[in-house]
Amino acid sequence: MAIVFVKHEMLTSYLTAVREELDMKPLEGINVLEFSTMITASFAAMMLGEQGARVIKVEPIELGDPMRFLGSSKGGISALFANCNRGKQSLRLDIKSDEGRGVIEELIAETDVLLTNFRPGVMDKLGLGSDHLRSINPRLVFTAITGFGTKGPDRDTPAYDPVIQAQVGFAAVQGQGKEGPEFVRNLTCDKVTAYTACQAVTAALFQRERTGEGQHIDLSMMDAGLYFLFPDGFMHQTLLDDDAEHQPPLSELLYDLTVTSDGGVTLSAANQAQQIGLLSAIDKLDLLADERFNSQEKLIANIMELREILRLAFLEWETDALLAQLKENDVPAAKCLTYEEIINHPQYAANDSINEVEHSRLGNMRQVKLPAQFGGERIEPGPGAPAHGEQTVEVLKHLGRTDDEIAALIEADTARGPEIAG
């Protein structure tokens, strides 16, 4: 048996390196350059930053990202902007000028991912198109988010979340069984697109590890929204043969409020075991012997009749008592919580999902942490959202600019900023 002696100093150094590597965030060492306003690219870039990437947000000289001024705000920064831009460096730059383009070309040499949500062709008009920038850095992953895509009749149409919701079917799905279309009153398509962009970017980075080459990614809000909605929202448009059997859509079965004697709950008995648990919870097991409901096929066929029987039964229960019985019988159920009840829910405390911090301009504020845990640990949010151009001098000094050159750049006049996709 051979015995190997290792110097204590060498072993300590090795173990330290291993610990540091294990403590690294997944995207540490990745540099992201963001050209965007509003939600899609901003939220995507923030999520990449939360996972360790360094993100530089390039903002127009005059006002910056207009999201800074929407909704609740303090110190010149809105809560919406803060929730989509923390952990970033803000570079205030006139990218229409030769000097501004020169700065971008220098930054591109060390950039791994570029994210933009300008309309098709805008980056090319600025002299910062994909082909040009990837000729400078062939390892660059250039990610272009648009509203409707780069071709077709809606190519140049401006896009915001409600427009996409209407066009891809969110409004139609929400309005089923009602008087007409309804919107999800949340920036759903913006954020779905952001998540899709993050997945595409990390896939491209993984491919780059194999090939050494970057690539161009096109992603439209319209396509991301439809892909997200399609599995359940378009079940009736999936099977095309005449003999396909169509059942009521899930939106009509799972999303009604169950009214109790003093409030209401939502519950989802999605399989036979849960359905039996539900009947047991409300003392209605006798329905299992009813000829209308004594098989899965009959139950589905007569679901509306069963729901009416259950509706009347639920009215005899108080909310808390019903929830306790449903939980005891392993039936998924919940009370529809208020904003305050959500924030203070003990499960979020157990999951370490929310923290409170003090921001230099926003004061005391609440942050929701990145959902994914790596190595069983939550990633702590990065520094709060930057002021407009807060790191301009820092970024330009990193590129070797002199104080005079920096002063000239940040004082340069700017024309109207480029139009965006959403």
CATH of the domain at 304: 3.30.1540.10
Query: In which residue ranges of the chain is pLDDT below 50?
Result: 1, 15, 18-19, 413-422
Q: Kindly state whether residues 157 and 209 are assigned to the same domain.
A: yes
Looking at 335, 350, 380, the residue that finishes a domain is 335
Tokens 């003999």 — which residue? 243
Are residues 40 and 65 in contact, defined by beta-carbon separation less than 8 angstroms? no
**The Cα angle at residue 291 between residues 290 and 292, in degrees rounded to 5:** 90
C-beta separation of 34 from 45 below 8 A? yes
- Give the 3-state DSSP-derived string for 180-235, with helices as H, strands as E and coil as C: CCCCCCCCHHHHHHHHHHHHHHHHHHHHHHHHCCCEEEEEEHHHHHHHHHHHHHCH
- 116 is written with which tokens? 């933009």
Residue 65 within any structural domain of the chain: yes
Query: Do 52 and 122 fall within a single domain?
Result: yes
**Rounded to the nearest 10 degrees, how much is the dihedral formed by the CA atoms of 39, 42, 47, 50?**
-130
Is 79 in the same domain as 219? Answer: yes
What does the pLDDT read at residue 304?
Answer: 86
Q: Are residue 151 and residue 298 in the same domain, yes or no?
A: no
Closest CA to 103 of 374, 344, 401, 408: 401
Q: Are residues 281 and 227 in the same domain?
A: no
Do 126 and 265 lie in one domain? The reply is no
pLDDT tens string 72-111 = 999 889 999 999 999 999 999 999 999 999 999 999 999 9
> 317 lies in a domain?
yes
Cα–Cα distance for residue pair 184/191, rounded to 1 Å: 12
Q: Under a CB-based contact definition with an 8 Å cutoff, are residues 111 and 31 in contact?
A: yes
Q: pLDDT of 222-275, one tens digit each?
A: 999 999 999 888 888 888 888 888 877 777 767 778 899 999 899 988 788 898
* Residue partners of 325: CB distance under 8 A and separation at least 6: 281, 282, 317
Instruction: Tell me the two tokens of residue 111.
Output: 């950039």
Strand ranges for 61-196 from DSSP E: 73-74, 77-78, 89-92, 113-116, 141-146
SS3 396: helix
Q: 142: domain range?
A: 27-231+360-410
**Strand, helix or coil for residue 95:** coil
- Residue 271's identity, in one-letter code, is N
Counting the structural domains of the chain, the total is 2
Per the domain annotation, does 56 fall within a domain?
yes
Same domain, yes or no: 176 and 209: yes
In a domain, 421, yes or no: no
Claim: this prediction has a pTM higher than 0.75? yes
pLDDT at 76: 86
Same domain, 95 and 137: yes
